[in-house]
């Protein structure tokens, strides 16, 4: 079964939305098989978002992702990568379909409440970036 890496971002943790967002995962049959709360430093966030290094929004993205604690989790399910991306909605909440997590909870393009891996390759890298094999159940 496919695994994907999910982050509940600082804006959502700050607004007490962890439970509401976890409910969306479980309602969609995306099983939480690993989870932890962490507060990333700049090095950790830069490494996570290495694909965006050099882009104009990179510094602000890293600043936001290090601004407070996040929940990081591994979600498992049939076609979990694409199904979770659909559940999140488009990156900019103004473009996100009704009923998606970003449409319902995100504040802005930057403060968009959740992250999800965008391919099998990124999912493998991102899961391993946060979790050891024996932390995934
Ligand atoms: P994520 O990787 O966080 O799941 P995503 O895959 O939908 O989001 P990416 O293109 O990977 O979007 O961008 C990573 C994050 O960088 C976005 O979630 C958003 O917060 C921020 N971002 C992307 N594009 C812009 C932009 N043009 N201006 C400001 N912030 C941006
Ligand atoms: Mg992305």
φ/ψ of residue 7, rounded to 5: -125, 130
φ/ψ of residue 73, rounded to 5: -145, 155
C-alpha–C-alpha distance, residues 50 and 43, integer Å = 10
What is this model's ipTM?
Answer: 0.93
The ligand 1 atom nearest the CA atom of 111: 20
Q: Are 73 and 6 in contact (CB under 8 A)?
A: yes
pLDDT at position 7: 99
Kindly report, residue by residue over 44-74, the tens digit of the pLDDT: 999 999 999 999 999 999 999 999 999 999 9
CA–centroid distance for 42 within its chain: 17
| Ligand 1 binding site (Cβ under 6 Å of any ligand atom) | 52, 57, 61, 91, 109-110, 112, 115-116, 118
Distance of CA 61 from the midpoint of ligand 1 (Å):
8
Summarize the confidence of residues 108-114 as an average pLDDT.
Answer: 98
Distance of CA 100 from the midpoint of ligand 2 (Å):
16
CB burial readout 111-135, b (16+ within 10 A) else e: bbbbbbbeeeebbeebbeebbeeee
Kindly report, residue by residue over 30-39, the tens digit of the pLDDT: 999 999 999 9
Write the residue with the smallest CA distance to atom 26 of ligand 1.
57
């Amino acid at each position: 079964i496919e695994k994907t890496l999910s982050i509940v971002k600082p804006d959502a943790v700050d607004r007490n939305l962890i439970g509401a967002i976890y409910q969306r995962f479980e309602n969609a049959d995306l099983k939480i098989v690993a989870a932890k709360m962490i507060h990333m430093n700049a090095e950790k966030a830069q490494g996570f978002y290495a694909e965006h290094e050099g882009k104009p929004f990179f510094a602000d993205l890293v600043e936001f992702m290090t601004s407070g604690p996040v929940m990081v989790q591994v979600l498992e399910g049939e076609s979990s990568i694409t199904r979770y991306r659909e559940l999140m909605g488009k990156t900019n909440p103004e473009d996100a379909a009704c009923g998606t997590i970003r449409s319902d909870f995100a504040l802005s393009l930057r403060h968009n409440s959740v992250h999800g891996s965008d391919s099998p390759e990124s999912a493998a890298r991102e899961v391993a970036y946060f979790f050891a094999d024996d932390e995934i159940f």
